Amino acid sequence: MPTTDESIVIPLPPEKVFDYINDPANIPEYQGSIVRAELEGDGPLGVGSRIKGASKILGRTFDWTTEITEYERPTRSALKSVEGKISFSSAWTLAPEGDGTRLNFHLDADSGLGGVFGRLADPLVNKAYTRQIRADLETLSQILTEHEEE
């Protein structure tokens, strides 16, 4: 099972970072592989909420639905896939660091992204996705910092 762990320090308090990353409407803005994401149904976001979306990975687009499994504002949120060809789980942990927030992202995905690419592709897929996550975190930091300056 490919696993990815990346982190970044964002010069904003955890509450602001948490609220932004957990708003489904914002996900395509900072995650380059996500082409769409939206909350399924009405109501506040929390454990049990579902998010429907689509990702484009190595040239292929995959629809998915996730369910929030942890939602502890402003320190942790996690979700797991419940529908789609790709089986994965991910978690964000946030902690104050200096004048900002240390944001950690953890991803577990099935080998070959659920068999879509096959086990032999794991090193390639993991390397490509790790690069994407690093870029996503930089984009997120830039977006949040620019919003704060406005």
Task: Please give the single-letter amino acid code of residue 26.
Answer: N
Residue 62 half-sphere exposure toward CB, CA atoms < 13 A:
22
Cα dihedral sign, 58-78-147-40: positive
Residue 26 DSSP symbol: G
Model confidence pLDDT, tens digit, residues 135-144: 999 999 999 9
Closest alpha carbon to 105 in 24, 4, 1: 4
Q: What is the pLDDT of residue 37?
A: 97
Q: How confident is the model at residue 100 (pLDDT cuts 50, 70, 90)?
A: very high
Distance CA 81, CA 19 (A): 21
Is the pLDDT at 122 greater than 90? The verdict is no
Q: What is the pLDDT of residue 64?
A: 95
Q: How many residues does the chain have?
A: 150
Residue 24 DSSP symbol: G
Closest alpha carbon to 76 in 64, 62, 91, 65: 91
User: What ranges do the domains of the chain cover?
Assistant: 3-149
Phi, psi angle pair for 16, to nearest 5°: -65, -40
In the chain, the percentage of residues whose pLDDT exceeds 90 is 67
- Residue with the bigger pLDDT between 122 and 118: it is 122
- Whole-prediction pTM: 0.88
Query: Which tokens in the block code for residue 144?
Result: 């949040």
User: Chain-wide mean pLDDT for the chain?
Assistant: 89
Q: What CATH code would you report for 3-149? A: 3.30.530.20
